[in-house]
Amino acid sequence: MTERLEVISGSMFSGKTRELKRLVERQEIAGVKAQVFKPTVDNRWGKIGKVRSHSGEEKDAIPVKDSAELLSRVDADTKYIAIDEAQFFDAGIVSVIDKLLDRGVKVLVAGLPLDFRGEPFGTMPILLAKADNTIKVTAICTEILENGEICGEEATRTQRFVYGQPANYNDPIVQIGAAESYAARCPTHHKVSRRPGK
């Protein structure tokens, strides 16, 4: 089996986890032993042992606190690893993925390429650069325009809100949440308050 790294990237609400689930299930249909991992910090939905899309689709997953634990939990006969919310893992995830690829394990990663500020998020830029294949998914910008209609353009950014207002540039990068704190935005409607130089 040729080693291969595939990376799914996109804003929140773009269907990354749904696509990860679909690709894992294709491998399983083909009889390939697969394991799905997620960071323990992603405790949305109250389901620790599952990855879940915003549309409600679920897949069993192994929650791990860091990249070292992930590597230690890979079964010897596993040939396909999927990692959801990769942007939340420590920098060691890159070398862990390299080790898995060297063993002949195929690796699928899904994550946010940009944080709420619109800047590169964690190790995602490195993983995208190393990927043999990338799948870029987008959402729909849900900004309400002056005429009352939804923008509807391709959303490549994740907008964070605090009390209904765009988050401050200096707010913490990691804040776990869903529709109560985030929305999909196109570059035109993505806003960050107190951005340096603006």
**CATH number of the structural domain spanning residue 9:** 3.40.50.300
Read off the pLDDT of each residue in 161-176 and give the average, rounded to a whole number.
78
Mean of all residue pLDDT scores within the chain: 89
Q: Which residues are catalytic?
A: 85
Q: What is the pLDDT of residues 106-132, one digit of tens each?
A: 999 999 999 999 999 999 999 999 999
Residue 73 domain-assigned? yes
Measured CA to CA, the distance from residue 76 to residue 119 in angstroms comes to: 37
Residue 172: pLDDT band by 50, 70, 90 thresholds? confident
Structure tokens at 118: 């619109």
Q: What is the pLDDT of residue 44?
A: 56
d(CA 27, CA 197): 47
Distance CA(97)–CA(3), nearest Å, equals 11
pLDDT at residue 196, as a whole number: 77
Is 173 inside any structural domain?
A: no
Residue 25 lies in a domain: yes
Domain that holds residue 45: 5-137
Segment 92-101 shows an average pLDDT of 97
Burial 173-193 (b: 16+ CB within 10 A, else e): eeeeeeeebbbbbbeebbbbe
What integer is the mean pLDDT of 58-71? Answer: 92
> How far apart (Å, rounded) are the C-alpha atoms in residues 14 and 154?
10
Q: What is the pLDDT of residue 70?
A: 98
187 confidence band (pLDDT: 50, 70, 90): very high
In a domain, 146, yes or no: no
Whether the pLDDT of residue 138 is over 50: the answer is: yes
CA-closest candidate to residue 181, choices 198, 157, 164: 164
Given a cut of 80, whether residue 8 has pLDDT beyond it is yes
pLDDT in tens, 17-38: 999 999 999 999 999 999 999 9
123 inside domain: yes
Per-residue confidence (pLDDT) for residue 1, from 0 to 100? 39
Asked if residue 165 is part of any domain, the answer here is: no
Q: Provide the 3-class DSSP secondary structure of residue 73.
A: coil
Answer yes or no: is 180 within a domain: no
Q: What was the pLDDT predicted at 51? A: 67
Question: In one letter, which amino acid is 107?
Answer: V
Which tokens is 48 given? Answer: 């620790």
Domain count along the chain: 1
- Domain-embedded: residue 43: yes
Q: What is the pTM for the complete model shown?
A: 0.88
Reading the block at residue 2, the tokens are 């040729």
Backbone angles phi, psi at 83, to 5 degrees: -125, 115
Q: What is the pLDDT of residue 168?
A: 76
